[in-house]
Amino acid sequence: MSAADRRERGAAIVAEQVCRRHPPDIVAVDDVSLSIERGEFVVLTGPSGSGKTSLLSLIGGLDRPTSGRVLIDGTPLDEIPSDRYHREVVGFVFQHHNLLGHLPARGNVEIPLIGAGIGRRERRERAEALLREVGLGHRVNALSSTLSGGERQRVAVARALANDPRLLLADEPTGALDSESAERVLDLLEDARERRGATLLVVTYDPLLGDRADRLLHLRDGRLVDEPDRPYLRAATQQPQG
Ligand SMILES: Nc1ncnc2c1ncn2[C@@H]1O[C@H](COP(=O)(O)OP(=O)(O)OP(=O)(O)O)[C@@H](O)[C@H]1O
């Protein structure tokens, strides 16, 4: 199916000849075209420095292509107001979870709800419900800085889900976790897809995620490449270097 066909059927994400250059001569993303169906779970992998985070940032509206364009549900991303996109459409899980350590777990999950015109009490209830969903109902008042790595990552997932995003983007969400915590985070992401119909795009080296994804995309030197097997999916401690 061509990218244009998928767009007609309402692909969640389309990239059309997307490039991201950094002066003077770095090409982080080089002419990438792709299409991801609604509700699909796609893993993006490739060696270190191949452009995975750069591409995720372009799709997540954290950065803009130097040429080409990204469409979300058929609408060019640069026509969607950035605050609306981040408030209503997309949720992010970062590897280093970017939690505010001085806030309790609940406070972190409430952050995306603050700009959404939701009253304080409802925000609180929703954040607590999400934390229960990720198995942290007993830790809602714990300062994030006192949580374990796996717990923090689960808070990060709860925060990413707070706005009920239809697009969930994750950058090495299990990279820093032991296998049990990694399984748990992965279950949460898959649950978001099954229960909420979210589309998942996940950057990873983790074979566990690769096994569960519908499809793997491989980047090398900023370009999408065909790989016969899964050379970049290895335990985090054995990450291949560029
Ligand atoms: N702001 C920037 N300025 C200059 N070069 C950049 C910038 N951001 C990324 N790059 C370069 O673009 C290339 C792709 O980087 P990116 O972080 O997207 O790779 P990656 O595949 O996510 O790597 P890793 O797996 O190590 O996180 C790298 O060569 C990187 O040094």
Ligand 1 proximal residues by C-beta, below 6 Å = 22, 26, 28, 46, 48-54
* 138 CA distance to ligand 1 middle (Å): 38
Ligand 1 atom closest to Cα of residue 55: 18
Taking CA atoms only, the protein residue closest to ligand 1 atom 30 is: 49
The answer to whether the beta carbons of residues 161 and 111 sit under 8 Å apart is: no
Both tokens of 155, joined, read 């808070």
Q: How close is the Cα of 27 to the center of ligand 1, in Å?
A: 9
Distance 105 CA to ligand 1 centre (A): 30
Instruction: Decide the pairing of beta strands 215-220 and 223-225.
Output: antiparallel
- Choice from 25, 27, 45, 50 to test ligand 1 binding pocket (greatest atom count within 8 A of CB): 50
**Alpha-carbon distances of 126 from 69, 111, 130, rounded to whole Å:** 35, 11, 6
Nearest to 52 by CA among 219, 174, 170: 219
| Per-residue pLDDT in tens (0 to 9) along the chain, 242 residues | 454 544 445 699 999 999 999 999 999 999 999 999 999 999 999 999 999 999 999 999 999 999 999 999 999 999 999 989 988 899 999 877 678 888 999 999 998 888 778 889 999 999 999 999 888 999 999 998 899 988 898 999 999 999 889 999 999 888 877 888 888 888 888 988 998 889 999 999 988 888 999 999 999 999 999 877 777 787 554 544 44
Burial class (CB in 10 A: 0-12, 13-18, 19+), 229: exposed
Give the number of the atom of ligand 1 that is nearest the alpha carbon of residue 219.
21
Pocket test for ligand 1, best of 54, 58, 63, 239 (most atoms within 8 A of CB): 54
Distance CA 214, CA 8 (A): 21
Nearest CA to ligand 1 atom 11: 28
Asked whether 37 and 56 are in contact (CB, 8 A), the reply is: no
DSSP structure class, residue 240 = P
ipTM of model: 0.98
pTM, full prediction: 0.89
Q: Could you give the C-alpha distances from 39 to 18, 103, 135, 201, in angstroms and in order?
A: 22, 32, 24, 10
Please identify, by atom number, the ligand 1 atom nearest to the C-alpha of residue 26: 5
Instruction: Report CA(57)–ligand 1 centroid distance (Å).
Output: 11
Tokens 């649950």 map to which residue? 191
| pLDDT at residue number 6 | 44
| C-alpha 55 to ligand 1 mean position (Å) | 10
For 52-117, give the DSSP string. HHHHHHHHTTSS--SEEEEEETTEEGGGS-HHHIIIIIEEEE-TT----TTSBHHHHHHHHHHTTT
174 Cα to the center of ligand 1, angstroms: 19
